[in-house]
Amino acid sequence: MHTVNANGANIPALGFGTFRMPDDDVHRILPQALKLGFRHVDTAQIYKNEASVGDVIANSGIARGDIFLTTKVWVDQYKHADFIKSVDESLKKLKTDYVDLLLLHWPKSDVPLAERIGALNEVHKAGKVRNIGISNFNVALMDEAVKLSDAPVANNQIEYHPYLDQTKVIEAARKNGISVTAYYLMADGKVPGDAVLKDIGAKHGKTAAQVALRWAVQQPDVIALSKTATESRLKENYDIFDFELSSEEMQAIFALAKADGRIVNPGHLAPEWDK
């Protein structure tokens, strides 16, 4: 599997996401994912499954240094003292003394961005976090975060799939040496049945889902999160590095973007999105 290098972070291009995954599912499916070869695992404080993720990694027999582990600080922990405490709690649950990437989960908050970035820098300096980043940030907020931070910002995790044009934020990230992690790549179940993606997949002996994942990782500096609780799908999601999409096929997928393509938009958390 190839990796994406961004401001010093070496991130496996395909990650296993655990959003909305109960503990039982994490215990059942994550060991299979690691066995298959996944080496990038994504969780968050708000997912309430960090302890399960930690259990699985600790019992996997895989060296901690071989797994790229991401977690995210939730918005109710943004005040400096709460932030530091919450990171220590996350590390305890994850049974590790560091995470590879720590993100601010959403931008909207009464806590000044400078305070949040300051806390990120503090845990980075203390060695609790190897790399720092943000999630769901628009271009202006991403630029502000970069200016405020002593440590390089390595990643912005955003909703990204064939129906949502994220060119502006991806190009702005690239200028700052920041990678982008795509979540919601299956667009809430729309991707697997998409006629254009199925048609492209048929030419490569692949599914529409594999085409969407491949489309993401084939873009420079883009990392794809895949998520499934179904064992058979795991292998499907992992097998995306043995084929390549032509530039015409890539363009056909970009052309699926719609003006109202955004799915995740919680008003109390989201910024003003880039038009």
Specify whether the CB–CB gap between 145 and 116 falls below 8 A: no
H helix or E strand, kind and range, residue 116: helix 113-125
Give the model's pLDDT for residue 114: 98
CB atoms within 10 A of CB 209: 24
> CB-side exposure of 129: number of CA atoms within 13 Å?
28
Q: How far apart are CA 256 and CA 243, in angstroms?
A: 21
pLDDT at residue number 262? 98
**Tens digit of pLDDT at every position of the chain (275 positions):** 799 999 999 999 999 999 999 999 999 999 999 999 999 999 999 999 999 999 999 999 999 999 999 999 999 999 999 999 999 999 999 999 999 999 999 999 999 999 999 999 999 999 999 999 999 999 999 999 999 999 999 999 999 999 999 999 999 999 999 999 999 999 999 999 999 999 999 999 999 999 999 999 999 999 999 999 999 999 999 999 999 999 999 999 999 999 999 999 999 999 999 98
Distance of CA 116 to the CA centre of its chain: 19
Whole-model pTM: value is 0.97
Beta strands in 107-248 (DSSP E): 132-135, 153-159, 179-183, 222-226
Other Cβ atoms within 10 Å of 123 Cβ, number:
23
Q: Which residue has the tokens 């999160």?
A: 225
**Superfamily of segment(s) 3-188+217-243:** NADP-dependent oxidoreductase domain (3.20.20.100)
Token readout for 51 is: 């302890």
Please tell me the predicted confidence (pLDDT) of residue 1: 72
Q: pLDDT tens digits, residue range 94-129?
A: 999 999 999 999 999 999 999 999 999 999 999 999
238 is catalytic: no
40 is in an annotated binding site: no
DSSP for 12-27, please give it: ESEEEE-TT--HHHHH
Q: How far apart are the first and last CA of the chain?
A: 33
Choose the catalytic residue: 47, 160, 163, 184: 47
